[in-house]
Amino acid sequence: MTEPKLTAKGRARRDALLDAALAVIEREGPAALTHRAVAAEAGLPTSAATYYFSDIDELLTSVLRRSVADYDASIGRLDPHDLEGAADAIRRYALEQRATAVAHYELLLLATRRPALRADAEAWYAILERDLGRAVPEDAPDAAARIRSAALAVDGLLLHMLWRGEPASHEGVRAALAAALAPLSAGAGAATSA
């Protein structure tokens, strides 16, 4: 469904509803997401939620799209060569932007059962692989496998941080990230020497 042109007030209401949806998902999971719950969380009438989001799939898709955009703004353009900056971005996303991160992962899992969410869920992984791919020469014969291995490790690190809240320190995240990114530099000497 294409979004109607919104006034400034309309955009603010829609954003408030998306903020509320993220809060509901973090607190109770996506199964608790209803127009009524989101409207109550936002302090708006239920009719506002149904006006901006005709059904739950549209609301879920909009929340996931926003989460992917927030992820891209937070961690996207991650520079695997800047370990300090990458560790800071991951720590911020997992610990300081926890509502978005938890909602994102809940929605990624929900996409396994709801086809309407799959394309937007796949966008998350495409962003991560795009960013990690900058550390591997395009002509490396095993570039895709190395990028995939590093993406799986970073994904696991994020899940661990969301679940256990650790590592919480910048140094801890940096050390875990260095290990996660190791596949990117495996054999890099041979691949990058000219």
pLDDT for 189 equals 43
- Sequence-distant (6+) residues with CB within 8 A of 92 are 74
**Least confident segment among 22-26, 88-92, 95-99:** 95-99
Residue 96, both tokens: 């300081």
CA distance 112 to 91: 27
CA distance 40 to 140: 53
The residue-averaged pLDDT of 167-175 equals: 94
Residue 168, both tokens: 């919480």
Residue 132, both tokens: 């990690």
**Least confident segment among 45-49, 63-67, 189-193:** 189-193
CA distance 125 to 19: 23
Give the DSSP H/E element, type plus range, for residue 178: helix 170-185
pLDDT for 157 equals 95
CA distance 26 to 33: 10
The residue among 149, 155, 121, 157 whose CA lies nearest residue 133 is 149
pLDDT for 59 equals 95
Domains of the chain (ranges, CATH numbers): 1-54 (1.10.10), 64-187 (1.10.357.10)
Structure-model confidence comparison of residues 140 and 94, the more confident one: 94
Q: Is the pTM of this model over 0.95?
A: no
**Least confident segment among 70-74, 109-113, 119-123, 190-194:** 190-194
